[in-house]
Structure 1
Amino acid sequence: MTDTANALRLNLDGTLTTIDIGTTRREQTRRIGRALLGSAEAVDYIDRPGTTAVVALAPLIRNHQPVNSHAAHAIHTIAQTLPHTFHGPVLLIGYTDDGHMVSLPDDIAAQLRNLVTCPHASPTR
């Protein structure tokens, strides 16, 4: 394993934040919880046969969190799935076939950064 694993948090205002989630399961659980301000739940899984999958994590308690239309647009764009609603900040991580959380794949991170900097990208409503 590498020295660290990085995830990207899709914030409510459409910005991205790189989060170092560490390498041990305990460290990752703690840092993900801190990044999402509480316990996390997997809300989407993007299968990428032959390479690292992507998991979207959101706060477990999201009842009163605002809709994150930026996350919905980004995940729809990278996964080509039907758009659905996300509430609160969303953290995207890499996920291996054997169940390890790893850095978000470089191609996905680049796509997300391009979406954020692209002046024509607009969130779905």
Structure 2
Amino acid sequence: MEEPFTNDRESFQRFLAAFCKRINDNEDDSDFLPFRPPNRHLTLEELQGECFDWSLRYLGLQKCPPTLAAAITREVYEQAKKIDFREFEERPEGSNEVEAKEENSSNEIQRPESGRDSSDPFMS
């Protein structure tokens, strides 16, 4: 039986090596999500929460040590905040791009100016 991963550096390295090997061995499956999103249509705010949920769920299924899973999920969240997802939004028929940009500007993923947002419950 495989030794379980614990919350120490050696376990993190073993997990990452095993994970990378598993992913590389299954390269032909790389176009598929490991699970199906419950809804095709998400607001930008929902996308942030789903990003946390998907990351933690996927890493949990991979038996990732909890502390490492939290760190990876945090980095996924930070990277997702940098992406402008507006280009993926469906536009209502008949609206032009300028109207859609104005309408969707309130949905943009906000990045705090100071680098930390005290209202963000996931920022430590």
Q: Give TM-score scaled by structure 1 length.
A: 0.24
**Which entry has the higher C-alpha Rg, 1 or 2?**
2
Normalised TM-score (structure 2): 0.24
Relative to its length, the structure with more strand (as a share) is: 1
Task: Name the one with the larger helix percent.
Answer: 2
